[in-house]
Chain A
Amino acid sequence: MRRLLGIPVLLALALCACVTINVYFPAAEAREAAREFVEKVIGEEGDAPAPEAPPPGDGGMAVHRLRFDPFVLLGIGSAQAQDTPDITIRTPAIQAIQARMESRFNSVLRPHFDSGALGFVDDGTIVVRDASKLAIKDRVAVNAAVADDNRDRNAVYREIAVANGHPEWEPQIRQVFARQWIASARPGWWYRQGGAWKQK
């Protein structure tokens, strides 16, 4: 019986050994990259820095976990993060999308953020918040622009993750961007966080 009791402990040790992850999500760099991207699209006026404090729950963006690694005892150290954490968003594809988003923002979307017809969502996309603020003819064009913009947004989040060699970072990159869109929103614009609409 006593011997059996030891098994879970060994199992736990073994599990710890397996899940030691030493790949960092470069949260600070991602925030900076997102800030640069978002400000370029929205325009530089009124610098609004991204919120520094990560929200509770996900323990920040780093997936680095400090764990006891039993192999250390055997003299086998785990490999450290193989590449320096850095977020690159300067690939031609991403820059092309950024330029397109910037021109769409200025030509179509901005006035509707001003009027409150559009809002940012905490998954990094935008939605038509209040269609009654749009003339019926505009509604079709704005719906299409919102759909186009969200396609671009989703492609950007995906591309940044993949271009940096970590497709699995996509959800974290999306989150960083979602926070930045809201942080960079101008006073009076709307955003939805946790299901509730708020106005900056």
Chain B
Amino acid sequence: MPARILTLLLLALCAWPAQARTATARIGSLEVAGAELDGVVVRLSWPAGAAHGELSIQAARIAAPALGPEYRQVRWRCPLSHDGAGAWHCAGPLQGRGGARMHLAVDLSSVCTGARLSQGNARLQLRREAVAPDVTRLDLVRVPLLWAQALLQRAWTQASVGDGVADGTIVVHTPPRQPLHVEGRLDVDGLALDTTDAAVAVAGLDGAIGFDWLQPDTGPARIVASGEVRDGEVLVGNTYVAIAGRPAGFALEARQQADGGWRLPRLALRDGDALQVEGDASFAADASLRALSLQARSARLAALPERYLSGWLGLAGLSGLELDGAADATLQVSGGMLQALDARLHDVSMRDPRDRLRIEGLAGELRHRARGAAQGRLSWREGALYGLAFGAIELPLASRDGVLRLRAPASLPMLGGELRLLDFALDPGGAEGLRLGFGLELDGLDVGQLSAALGWPAFRGSLDGRIPQARYASQRLDFDGGLSMRVFDGRVDVSALSMERPFGVAPTLSADLSLHGLDLEGLTGAFDFGSITGRLHGRIDGLRLVDWTATAFDAWLHTEPAPGVRQRISQRAVQDISSVGDASFVGSLQGRLVALFDDFGYRRIGIGCRLANEVCRMSGLHSAGAGFTIVEGSGVPRLQVVGFNRNVDWPTLVERLAAAAAGDVAPVVD
């Protein structure tokens, strides 16, 4: 309300013949300087001989479209006095319906026009010298930013101001037949701002801004502004910035376009070594981004996650990601799509707080083109995936029409062997999100290191394989081909390998395993499960690990005689098998006699387990009465181990296996 209405009132006042004793003027409608006043009643009473008179001005409605909403039932009363030299002074309360009570003081003289509007400790002072009638100066002291709400909504209809006060000076130039020119410098304290769609929110923002605004009557506006923010929080879309007492400077230049949109030929952010951005942008009339071109540099990436990326990382489930190193990048966005990106990384490291992925010494150039082609090269020094350490890699990359590919195979030392990335194609903008395809070769990975990293028993052997094509899309990773693990002098083939949500909630892994000629002595030794000699064969179909815990499989493991291989089973292994399988000994041997022998010969061993819904459905070599035979003995003493409990609770079974491996098994001998 303040400035122009005040001017209006002053105009009305000036027009009034001061000689009258009591006079009342009713003005149906008055239009002055872009404002419209209805039902104006001006009353002046000046008792004869009195030092001052009383002025009362009322308006039923004041509408200033340039300044915002209407004001109703506005009333100002003040004692009017003059000093005899032509200067008038009037100061009194000003109130509009529903508004807070304010105080308005007006001074009129031949030299200058002055007015002061105050409320509490907020003060807005206007001054215009007679020698320069085109220049109006406004001084603000603790002025609530709410007063500028209407002005703001003219430029940004969705925004509404909450708290905050401003101090500073604004100078308004209104030269005849020239554009309105407003310049000023304001200190803002505790600004709160929100948009109706909640896309932008600002809270407790402290800062300073200097601006220069040119607004022709007809034609596009031009704004140049710069300043700094010292404290507060800003949320734009998913980008959350907590300034938290670390000041950052900004500068921008904006030109309104004929279609109502804005072009920002200059956009700059200077936030110490955390982030320096220069660029230009253009927005459509509905504030949607048309084009953006940025050059950004961060000499200290470590500052970025907390200061700029927390909103995005939270959405991606990566809260707490740690970055280090430095990077600079240029990027171009248009049509809502990233058109080009050139990023240079300097010794960057990233660490996922949940230890899923860690990469150190990431360096090189990453180039992406939505159209056209570009080449880049990335490398890293070392890292770890789910605790599995890997070494350095060189990735020659090429981007063509939005897809990032590997130009030549790359090799990655891992677990004492080598993992070769044959090819690689990443399409970040697929219809269902990111799509990734790659081919792999594994050569001589040490199963011992793998076991140690995954907390398995100390297996020894090597892992090889070739996965000609793996595809990641819609949170699912499918592998063609298979892996082969050379362990315990035998082989385990892994096929039909797939993963769901590999980095997400409850990652699952599915595979079919087949076992060929595993040396049982080594295997039982690794598990510390008594001792069995012989060769183990079998399959584990439909293996499904959820959160790295087995939830389903259909397994059948059995021994097959091999030339030159003795088939013996130790007393402890018998006890362990029995305790695990709820089995008992029958046949030619009395249970009690087991303890008298160190080991026994066997003809064959076979055990099956079909796990589903936490229950393992056990099976053996063949039925034996109510049970099933697990171990079929040979020679004397002849041993036979028979299981009776066909449905075994899986968690209990795992517990018993662990106990057996730890040697805490009491012999269960019937």
- Taking beta carbons and an 8 Å cutoff, which residues of A are in contact with B? 88, 90-93, 96-97, 128, 130-132, 135-137, 139-141, 143-144, 147-148, 151-152, 154-155, 158-159, 162-163, 165
Given contacts A91-B546, A91-B614, A132-B198, contact A151 B551 (CB under 8 A): no
- Taking beta carbons and an 8 Å cutoff, which residues of B are in contact with A? 194, 196, 198, 201-203, 233, 235, 238, 240, 310-311, 314-317, 319, 500-501, 504-506, 508, 544, 546-547, 549, 551-552, 612-614
- Pick from A91, A132, A141: contact of B551, CB under 8 Å: A91
Contact between A144 and B235 (Cβ–Cβ < 8 Å)? no
Q: How far is the CB of B329 from chain A (nearest CB, A)?
A: 24
Given contacts A92-B551, A158-B500, contact A143 B314 (CB under 8 A): yes
- Pick from B196, B314, B505: contact of A144, CB under 8 Å: B314
Q: Complex: how many Å from CA A165 to CA B551?
A: 12
Nearest chain-B residue to A151 (Cβ)? B505
Q: How far is the CB of A132 from chain B (nearest CB, A)?
A: 5
Contact between B314 and A88 (Cβ–Cβ < 8 Å)? no
- Pick from A132, A140, A158, A163: contact of B552, CB under 8 Å: A163
- Pick from B202, B310, B549, B612: contact of A93, CB under 8 Å: B549
10 sample A-B contacts, Cβ–Cβ < 8 Å, listed by A number: A92-B549, A135-B203, A137-B203, A139-B201, A139-B240, A144-B311, A144-B314, A151-B317, A155-B506, A159-B508
Nearest chain-A residue to B501 (Cβ)? A155
Most buried by B among A135, A140, A143: A140
Interfacial chain B residues near A90, Cβ < 8 Å = 613-614
Contact between A93 and B546 (Cβ–Cβ < 8 Å)? yes
Interfacial chain A residues near B310, Cβ < 8 Å = 140
Contact between B317 and A147 (Cβ–Cβ < 8 Å)? yes
Given contacts A132-B194, A163-B551, contact A140 B311 (CB under 8 A): yes
Q: Complex: how many Å from CA A183 to CA B140?
A: 55
Contact between B317 and A97 (Cβ–Cβ < 8 Å)? no
Contact between A97 and B505 (Cβ–Cβ < 8 Å)? yes
Contact between B506 and A96 (Cβ–Cβ < 8 Å)? yes
The majority secondary structure among interface residues of chain A is helix
Contact between B549 and A143 (Cβ–Cβ < 8 Å)? no
Interfacial chain A residues near B311, Cβ < 8 Å = 140, 143-144
Interfacial chain B residues near A154, Cβ < 8 Å = 505
- Pick from A92, A135, A140, A155: contact of B314, CB under 8 Å: A140
Q: Complex: how many Å from CA A140 to CA B504?
A: 20
Given contacts A135-B203, A137-B233, contact A96 B319 (CB under 8 A): no
Q: Complex: how many Å from CA A152 to CA B505?
A: 6
Q: Complex: how many Å from CA A88 to CA B317?
A: 28
Q: Complex: how many Å from CA A155 to CA B202?
A: 35
Contact between B198 and A159 (Cβ–Cβ < 8 Å)? no
Interfacial chain A residues near B238, Cβ < 8 Å = 143
Q: Complex: how many Å from CA A165 to CA B544?
A: 11
Q: Complex: how many Å from CA A151 to CA B315?
A: 10
- Pick from B504, B508, B547, B614: contact of A162, CB under 8 Å: B508
Nearest chain-A residue to B319 (Cβ)? A144
Q: How far is the CB of A186 from chain B (nearest CB, A)?
A: 24
- Pick from B235, B506, B551: contact of A136, CB under 8 Å: B235
Given contacts A144-B315, A147-B315, A155-B505, contact A139 B552 (CB under 8 A): no
Q: How far is the CB of B156 from chain A (nearest CB, A)?
A: 16
Interfacial chain A residues near B505, Cβ < 8 Å = 97, 151-152, 154-155
Given contacts A147-B315, A147-B317, A151-B317, contact A130 B547 (CB under 8 A): no
Q: Complex: how many Å from CA A30 to CA B133?
A: 80
Q: Complex: how many Å from CA A188 to CA B624?
A: 63
Interfacial chain A residues near B508, Cβ < 8 Å = 93, 159, 162
- Pick from A130, A139, A159: contact of B235, CB under 8 Å: A139
Q: How far is the CB of A89 from chain B (nearest CB, A)?
A: 10
Contact between A93 and B506 (Cβ–Cβ < 8 Å)? yes
- Pick from B194, B198, B314, B506: contact of A97, CB under 8 Å: B506
- Pick from B198, B203, B316: contact of A130, CB under 8 Å: B198
